[in-house]
Amino acid sequence: MECSHEHTHEGAATTLSVLGEKWTLHLLHQTVQGNNRFGQLQRAMTGISPKTLTVRLRALEEAGILTRKVFPGFPLHVEYAATERGEALGKVIRAMDDWGKGLKSTRRSGKLHSDGAESTNERRQSIREGLLLVRLKCCQQALMSLCETPGQT
């Protein structure tokens, strides 16, 4: 499928900048699994400092991926939950996970050189293929949304 317009991939770069931070994927996973309080998250994510957890939670809240609800009382009770945007991001993460598993199985199937190192050209080709898949999915979704008429779901 060919795309009818050029992309700057600004959206993909933004997504990767959010997801690329250390602990972010693990934090999102834990939140979806029901660990929605600060203490639960810290216990589930062995090795994360309270400061880093706070910074990641605030960044995800600012990005509209998580919501923070404060319950009055003593002791203070705060819960985090995924927003609609956060739920949609789960689909992106699953697609990236599937693509990464495919890349991993390609590597296992013998595309590595005898010394165990993948050639630069093979790495570049793999990256190009991944970007092409993302671009094709983007175009497909854009075309689908253009084809939908008001009132259809």
Q: Which of 44, 60, 82 is the last residue of a domain?
A: 82
**One domain, residues 55 and 90:** no
**What are the structure tokens assigned to 28, written together?**
């999102």
Residue 67 and residue 62: Cα distance in Å, rounded? 9
| pLDDT tens over the chain, length 153 residues | 466 667 778 888 888 888 888 899 999 989 888 889 999 999 999 999 999 999 999 999 999 999 999 998 888 889 999 999 988 888 888 888 888 888 877 766 655 444 445 566 666 666 666 666 666 665 555 555 554 544 544
Query: What does 22-70 look like in DSSP terms, one character per residue?
Result: TTHHHHHHHHHTT--BHHHHHHHSTT--HHHHHHHHHHHHHTTSEEEEE
**One domain, residues 46 and 61:** yes
Q: How far is CA 48 from the centre of its chain?
A: 19
Domain that holds residue 96: 84-147
Residue 110 and residue 32: Cα distance in Å, rounded? 36
Q: Kindly report the CATH number assigned to the domain that includes residue 75.
A: 1.10.10.10
